[in-house]
Structure 1
Amino acid sequence: MVEIIRNLLWTGDIASSIFILALVLTIGVLLSKIRLGGFSLGVSWVLFTGIFLGHLGLRLDPQVLSFVRETGMILFIFGIGMTVGPGFFATFRQGGVRLNLLSLLSILLSLIVSYVLYRVTQTPMATLMGILSGAVTNTPALAATQESARAVGSAALGDVGIGYALGYPVAILGMILTMSLLKWVFRIDVPREEKEIEERERAAHKDAVVYTLEVSNPWMDSKSVYESKSVLEKYDVVISRIMHHDSGEVEMAGPKSIIRLGDRLMVISDESDKETICAFLGREVPLVEPEWITRGATDVVSHRCLVTRDRINGKSIGSLKLRSLYNASITRVYRAGVYLMARPELLLQVGDTVIVVGHEEDVKHVEQVLGNSRKTLRQPNLLVVALTILIGVLIGSLRIHLPSMSMPVKLGFAGGTLVTAILLSNFGTHFRLNTHNTESANHMLRELGIALFLACVGLSVGESFVEKIASGGLVWMGYAALMMMIPLWVTLIIGRLCLRLDYFSLLGYVAGSMTFAPALSLTPDATKNNIPSVGYATIYPLTLFVRVMAAQWMVLLVS
């Protein structure tokens, strides 16, 4: 057994690579369970484990290491993109412009610090850009710097990668320190901010509410549902059922249904419109749903139903013609924690929960049309994973030619995958593409991807890490700290004190401005809601692009 383990650790073949990766992951994940004073390094332990084992001499084949590292990052980015994608554009409109401007200011400040160091220390600009690439964990910027240094024949080409390797751990430690100090420096009450954010989101989203009205407006007597809705056409309102006061029977409300004084109406509308609708139709009375279901001979029921059939994905509610075909109606749609009005033009998505109202047999028919199979939703959607990565790698490989640049720039695999995931999760339904995946499947891809990435980074720099520090690398690490911490904290202070950004947006800003998605795992606060992930995804594409362009521009500027 000892001989087998020795061979697996030192032979360098495929089995050895898999064994070493599994060893790094196992030790790193076990160490991530350690908490000191309520704080844990989390998945960062995988990086430090990789550095330690790399220092001991464990190696992966360079091609295997490169493949696993990039694949891990792509999987992680896919999970992030699909999680934050549905709310990305709404969030960008609400606060994304401010976050992006703040990130651009951070980039400008880092370039100013780099130029000052260049003038004061006479360190080659290519080396400084390598250090900066590590200090902001931007691997595409490293590649761009190396390509630019090679094009201008810089003598510092060999130091670019060393600078990156020394700057990278500084960035990790800097982000851990920053995220742990944020709430202490700004005296943030996390539970209070969570509550404020929940209240703000509740006010921003117009959730559908259900209530009962007793008709008291004389104008409504003997009017049809169609006539009443034509008067209220500027409001999103659905009259679902009518309880006739003379007979007590419940009727499914169709366009031709007649409303009389004293009738009770079950109404669904946006909460903000409720007061106006009540003022027009009549007075609100207590909603007792069992009465609507049991009274009368109509046997009206209200069931929740899951949309699970692929052929329904991307179809509008109106195009299904449920009222005319099955005498049943969808009154509300529950998606991503929010009730939506069942407007005819609303496109259904696989994973939606809809409220179907009608006779029991008719509702069962509608359930068959929509699917209503929880088992189907539990199955992972491998097609969307493969398609997103396919398109993402293609987009990331495109060369973008810019004026005054001697060579094209690229988004890279991670940037291309993030952009694709956000676009597909938002617009996939327009092309009848099912982008739904289980939350557990997305979470597994994220965790596995980032663990593989950090393990490979640690193993790649571990061999010469201590030697580089001992031979003057501490000075370069000091440069990295200045390049990272000065711009980051200046913009964090501006963001908190001037722009009044909340704590969770600041966490997302740190990860996005550093183009380091794993930062979302450095503190438990970043996983309490989706705001940090959305903030990261909002500024990542532009920040990545500008950092890559700036690295090339700085090398060419002083050559």
Structure 2
Amino acid sequence: MVRLVFHPLFFIPCFFATGPAMAQYRKMFEERRVIGQIFDRIEPVVETGAHGFFQLLHHQPIAFVLLALALGALIGKLNIKGISLGSTAGTLLVGIIISMSAEAIYGITYSIPGILSSFMLLLFMYALGLKVGPQFFSGLRKGGLAFMGIGIIVWVLNWVICYFGAMLVGLAPGYATGLISGSYTITAILGVGQGALSSGAYVPPVGMTIEEVGANMAAAYAISYVLSSIGIILLIRYLPRMFGRDAKADAIIAEAEYSGGAQHPVPGAPHALTMGFSPYDLRAFVVTHDKFDGRTLSQLAHDFPKVPILRVVRDGAILDLENDPVITRNDIVTVRANVHDLILEEDELIGPESDSSLARNVMLEVADIHVTSRAITGKTFEELARHGTAGVEVQALFRAGNELPVGPASTMLVGDVLRVTGPDIALKAAARHIGGHAILPTLKSEVLYLALAMLVGYLVGIVTVHISGIPFSLGTSAGCILAGVGVSYFRSRNPEFGGPVHEGARSFLQDFGLNAFVAVLSANVGPKVISALGGDTILWLALIGTVGALLPPFIAFWVGIKFFGLNSIIADGATTGGRNSTPGLNAIIEESGSSIAAVPYPVSYALTTVLALIGGYFSMILT
């Protein structure tokens, strides 16, 4: 605790001081007053020990979130016989334990503003959309009906288990709706149920008030929400393993299937501009042969297109290649070509090899170039290599977002995107010739595109249509993931549009966003669990809620791989979308080492969100 004390004697000299002394006292007083205002804003911690610790977390919610993130990540790494919680489930568990302990032992109720968790969840969804955008539409074409079928199976089974389960054991009105809401982890279902109460669509039985029904809904929601949130993460994570599938191997197969056989990430996608393995190498030679001596750089590029010259060193200085210099004897030239060709041929063609560090120290980069010049439409790569693109090597060719085979006879069209490697000067020269500009890797943030895209997705998501008193909307989470999908999809055809995505930044947004959302959620849910404890009712709520949360996705996954013939990772992504479990999606992404599970997720997610709200409304009025 910080305590600021003002001694009364401090003010005595002020009454007798004049001139400069008075000004000095006034300055001292103003400084102390400002300091006092600062410390007045810090909530005091008046207790010591554990009580003081929990009180500190109550007054400083950011400290609670950071502590839950740190301990959750630590616990999530623990591996017992091949099974681990993962960072998301670990954070949720730690946060609930802390908030429940504070409530049960010291009567401290944590409540963190929901805007923080909502914003973090939207960041996660947008970052995920950026990752899977190029594969999303091909996923719809390949298995859209299967994805929707899996979502419907999850929804129907969940509603039947929760509604009829509550009826069979004789639970009071409100519990069934709360169970559906909590086991489905859709808080909006509570709002739909409350709307049925306030509108008079459901009238409580004699002797029971609307407030009591609402309390029953909240209690069932709290118990089932906590259990289902942890359970679904573990279930989704290990579903492929339960059915004898290798998650990582199946993810690789799914990525190949949904990428259409492409070997390189599409323009604008994560890792698109990562320099990978290449059979081409750099070598430096001293010019001694007549075929090189006295020829200009452009002439050599025309005669030897497969062996581009990247640098010329003369008398210890690097020549400017843009001036098309004439190569003379004893110049050192740096060439790039297939290692096999360099070893067997070039020593005899150019001259002896040089170990000059000035000649060999050429930084190679990878870039995407959007073809905009109609003058080169229809030209082959072989023709291109002879005119204006010396020094670059084509890695991949993309047309309408799809990768095409690359060979000497491959032709280019306006709108194509070339992925090339080479030194910076050669990349820029090639871009000018093709009509575009080189899109190079960057560490710059894309806050402008992120904010605008998320804003559009958010506004689309909050658009609500009421039909018979039931609100229908896409939802802000679905809106933001589709915004990310749209940006990524557009970039695959127009890499200049805010690209490229820096994978480190995108991955951080994805991981931190979801785990911070879960940390805030755990703080707010924990106290509700305490209030719902007591009697046999809690046992039935725990049992029905857990079964309703886990059995439907288990069956839907089985249907997905057995009847629809889906890849296990794709079926898992559709299943967790049908269960509306974003943490579950993150769990299978971690387990498989791939984001391909997110391809079917928005399809089943959007469908079951609407169905779950309808089901929640009818579970209330039919009680």
TM-score by length of 1: 0.71
AA aligned to 1:128 is: A
The residue that corresponds to 2:161 in the other structure is 113
Equivalent-residue separation in structure 1 for 2:260 and 2:490 (angstroms): 25
Give the conservation status (yes or no) of the 8 Å contact 2:110–2:524.
Answer: no
The residue that corresponds to 2:150 in the other structure is 102
Equivalent-residue separation in structure 1 for 2:515 and 2:425 (angstroms): 50
Q: Deviations over 1:203-250 (max 9, x none)?
A: 744889x9xxxxxxxxxxxxxxxxxxxxxxxxxxxxxxxxxxxxx944
Q: Deviations over 1:486-511 (max 9, x none)?
A: 32222222122222222212331332
> How far 1:202 moved relative to its partner?
7.6
The residue that corresponds to 2:475 in the other structure is 412
AA aligned to 2:218 is: G
Equivalent-residue separation in structure 2 for 1:316 and 1:125 (angstroms): 65
The residue that corresponds to 1:353 in the other structure is 419
> How far 1:407 moved relative to its partner?
3.5
Residue 425 of structure 1 pairs with residue 488 of structure 2? yes
> How far 1:317 moved relative to its partner?
4.2
Residue 166 of structure 1 pairs with residue 223 of structure 2? yes
Give the conservation status (yes or no) of the 8 Å contact 2:154–2:579.
Answer: no
Residue 344 of structure 1 pairs with residue 389 of structure 2? no
Cα 1:384–1:139 shift into 2, 3 Å: farther
Equivalent-residue separation in structure 2 for 1:413 and 1:420 (angstroms): 10
Residue 25 of structure 1 pairs with residue 89 of structure 2? no
1:263-412 equivalences in 2 (<5 Å): 305-307=366-368, 316-318=371-373, 327-328=388-389, 333=396, 343-346=412-415, 348=417, 353-354=419-420, 364-367=428-431, 370-371=437-438, 373-374=440-441, 377-402=442-467, 405-412=468-475
- Corresponding pairs, count: 469
What's the % identity of the aligned pairs?
Answer: 18
* Paired residue secondary structure (1:409): strand
Equivalent-residue separation in structure 1 for 2:497 and 2:256 (angstroms): 33
The residue that corresponds to 1:519 in the other structure is 584
Give the conservation status (yes or no) of the 8 Å contact 2:232–2:549.
Answer: no
Give the conservation status (yes or no) of the 8 Å contact 1:68–1:453.
Answer: yes
Equivalent-residue separation in structure 2 for 1:191 and 1:432 (angstroms): 33
Equivalent-residue separation in structure 2 for 1:77 and 1:32 (angstroms): 21
Equivalent-residue separation in structure 1 for 2:416 and 2:612 (angstroms): 38
Equivalent-residue separation in structure 2 for 1:382 and 1:466 (angstroms): 41
Equivalent-residue separation in structure 1 for 2:395 and 2:375 (angstroms): 15
AA aligned to 1:353 is: R
Equivalent-residue separation in structure 2 for 1:201 and 1:409 (angstroms): 31
Q: Deviations over 1:166-201 (max 9, x none)?
A: 111221343245246534542224465456446646
Equivalent-residue separation in structure 2 for 1:380 and 1:451 (angstroms): 21
Equivalent-residue separation in structure 1 for 2:224 and 2:425 (angstroms): 66
Cα 1:317–1:548 shift into 2, 3 Å: farther
> How far 1:98 moved relative to its partner?
0.7
The residue that corresponds to 1:264 in the other structure is none
Range moving further from structure 2, 362-371 or 96-105: 362-371
Q: Deviations over 1:335-383 (max 9, x none)?
A: 79966667424454xxx733689xx976542357624543xx2222111
Residue 134 of structure 1 pairs with residue 182 of structure 2? yes
Residue 68 of structure 1 pairs with residue 116 of structure 2? yes
Aligned partner (choices 41, 44, 50) of residue 95 of structure 2: 50
1:167-182 equivalences in 2 (<5 Å): 167-179=224-236, 182=239
AA aligned to 2:508 is: M
Give the conservation status (yes or no) of the 8 Å contact 2:180–2:545.
Answer: yes
Equivalent-residue separation in structure 2 for 1:61 and 1:184 (angstroms): 37
AA aligned to 2:193 is: T
The residue that corresponds to 2:595 in the other structure is 530
AA aligned to 2:161 is: V
Cα 1:517–1:340 shift into 2, 3 Å: farther
Q: Deviations over 1:69-106 (max 9, x none)?
A: 11121111112111111210011211232122121122
Equivalent-residue separation in structure 2 for 1:304 and 1:294 (angstroms): 26
1:426-445 equivalences in 2 (<5 Å): 426-427=489-490, 433-434=497-498, 436-445=500-509
AA aligned to 2:77 is: K
* Paired residue secondary structure (1:354): strand
Equivalent-residue separation in structure 1 for 2:220 and 2:236 (angstroms): 24
Cα 1:52–1:191 shift into 2, 3 Å: closer
> How far 1:18 moved relative to its partner?
1.5
Give the conservation status (yes or no) of the 8 Å contact 2:428–2:438.
Answer: no
> How far 1:117 moved relative to its partner?
2.9
> How far 1:141 moved relative to its partner?
3.0
TM-score by length of 2: 0.64
The structure carrying a bigger helix percent of its residues is 1
Instruction: Give the root-mean-square deviation of aligned CA atoms.
Output: 4.2
Q: Deviations over 1:391-445 (max 9, x none)?
A: 122112111244xx32332233212212222222223666963254211111111
1:168-317 equivalences in 2 (<5 Å): 168-179=225-236, 182-190=239-247, 193=250, 196-197=253-254, 200=257, 204-205=261-262, 249-250=303-304, 305-307=366-368, 316-317=371-372
Residue 545 of structure 1 pairs with residue 607 of structure 2? no
Cα 1:370–1:486 shift into 2, 3 Å: same
Q: Deviations over 1:281-313 (max 9, x none)?
A: xxxxx997659999999xxxxx86414xxxx7x
Aligned partner (choices 522, 533, 549) of residue 469 of structure 1: 533
Give the conservation status (yes or no) of the 8 Å contact 1:106–1:488.
Answer: yes
The residue that corresponds to 1:145 in the other structure is 193
* Paired residue secondary structure (2:151): helix
Cα 1:461–1:432 shift into 2, 3 Å: same
Name stretches of at least 5 consecutive residues in structure 1 with no aligned partner.
211-247, 253-285, 298-302
AA aligned to 2:367 is: L
Larger radius of gyration: 2
Name stretches of at least 5 consecutive residues in structure 2 with no aligned partner.
3-43, 204-209, 266-277, 279-301, 307-337, 351-363, 378-383
Equivalent-residue separation in structure 2 for 1:292 and 1:144 (angstroms): 76
Give the conservation status (yes or no) of the 8 Å contact 1:334–1:354.
Answer: no
AA aligned to 2:532 is: K
Aligned partner (choices 62, 72, 78) of residue 34 of structure 1: 78
Give the conservation status (yes or no) of the 8 Å contact 2:226–2:525.
Answer: no
Equivalent-residue separation in structure 1 for 2:375 and 2:521 (angstroms): 51
> How far 1:42 moved relative to its partner?
1.3
Equivalent-residue separation in structure 1 for 2:556 and 2:169 (angstroms): 26
Cα 1:364–1:464 shift into 2, 3 Å: closer
Range moving further from structure 2, 2-11 or 467-476: 2-11
